[in-house]
Structure 1
Amino acid sequence: MTKQTDIARAVVEEAGTTLAAEAGIRMGDKPAALWQLLVLVNLVSARISARIAMDAAHELNRAGGTTPDGMARLSWQERVDALGRGHYVRYDESTATRLGQCAELAQEECKGDLRRLAGDHERTRLMSGLQRFPGVGPTGAAIFCREVQAVWPWLRPFTDKLTRTGAERLGLPGEENDLGGLVEGDDMAALAAGLTRVARDGDLVTRIRDRAG
């Protein structure tokens, strides 16, 4: 194994938990899981801690918002209450409205199945389609793609600016295909998740290098 491969493996082992896994979403190439990921992305896109966003996503799922139909059936107040239980209080009312709009859009244009956004596996079309959802901008669309590559092999390897920043800190290649070549395909989402944490937490650099040996 090369040194870079050792480092990449250490990233996966030390910091490779995806946002979806942290939020308790059982990722799969299924409409419900993909919708739950979109909701999580919408929540983390606000100026609020990731932990609160994950707790809020969990509460929305508990309330029945696990699918576009389920989210649409929740009243605005039920969405506000679920967000409040997750301590997502600064943006609870506007977010409750936004999630209702997202559910309607998913129903009307995707028939509840976000796989329709990808078309013929076109990355540009997917990014554009994601940004049609209220509250999801370029950064949010990139987070969705970074996470969903765990179950969409055609999208691998996907990296965003934050991923590449983390790679640079560890001396790993910044080009997507080179970075993707350091791990098995199924681990690419975990590698990307870990590298985003490295980009935000300089202390991880030392721990990962020590683990890599």
Structure 2
Amino acid sequence: MSQDDVVAALIDTQGTLFSEEMGAHVARNTPQELFHWMEGAILLSARIDAALAVQAARALRSGRLHKIDVILATDYWDMVAVLRDNGYRRYDEKTAEYLRETAQWMRDRYQDDLRNMLDDDPMWFSSG
């Protein structure tokens, strides 16, 4: 059984991917979708119920806050409000700041494209 077969079997038996639930279309392999998935992964990494992290990620997308340029142009407190209003209360301010810092880092280091990380060290992503 190949690695792809194992992944497909896990998805079939375990249900919907978090990325799908939050609306991150990673299969498109576009900078915006990959950034949204990274944003979702950041939300999922906190000590918070996964359903609330997914809800917050969906709300960020709904508010166009899954785009680096929009995040950087949005008032900090507006971003906090989106997180807070969507169940991400305990970590709303800290997470809003971290997401803004991450967006700026992506802009400065990778020109808004997560795929440019591959240019840093291709071995980082190798399977072998």
* TM class by smaller structure: 0.7 to 0.9
Q: Which amino acid aligns with 1:82?
A: V
Structure 1 residues 97 and 54, CA gap change in structure 2 (3 angstroms): same
Gaps of 5+ in 1: 127-154, 158-176, 178-213
Gaps of 5+ in 2: none
**Which structure has the larger Rg over C-alpha atoms?**
1
Does the 8 A contact of 1:80 with 1:93 survive in 2? yes
Q: Which amino acid aligns with 1:65?
A: L
Partner residue, 1:26:
25
Q: Which amino acid aligns with 1:79?
A: M
Does the 8 A contact of 2:83 with 2:92 survive in 1? yes
Partner residue, 1:131:
none
CA distance in 2, matches of 1:96, 1:7: 36
Instruction: Say which SS state the counterpart of residue 69 (structure 2) adopts.
Output: helix
CA distance in 2, matches of 1:120, 1:38: 18
Q: Over residues 68-118 of structure 1, what are the superposed CA-to-partner deviations in whole Å (9 max), with x where a residue is unaligned?
A: 111111111111011012110000011111111111111111111111011
Structure 1 residues 94 and 122, CA gap change in structure 2 (3 angstroms): same
Off by >4 Å, runs of 4+ in structure 1: 6-10
How many residue pairs were aligned? Answer: 124
Instruction: Say which SS state the counterpart of residue 16 (structure 2) adopts.
Output: coil
Instruction: Say which SS state the counterpart of residue 93 (structure 2) adopts.
Output: helix
Alignment of 1:1-213 (within 5 A): 10-27=9-26, 28-119=28-119, 122-124=122-124
Instruction: Say which SS state the counterpart of residue 24 (structure 1) adopts.
Output: coil
Does the 8 A contact of 1:31 with 1:67 survive in 2? no
CA RMSD of aligned residues (A): 2.3
**TM-score with structure 1 length normalisation?**
0.53
Instruction: Say which SS state the counterpart of residue 88 (structure 2) adopts.
Output: coil
Identical-residue share of aligned pairs (%): 27
Q: Which amino acid aligns with 2:20?
A: A
CA distance in 1, matches of 2:6, 2:64: 41
Query: CA shift at 1:18, angstroms?
Result: 1.7
User: Which one has more relative contact order, counting CA pairs under 8 Å at least 6 apart?
Assistant: 1
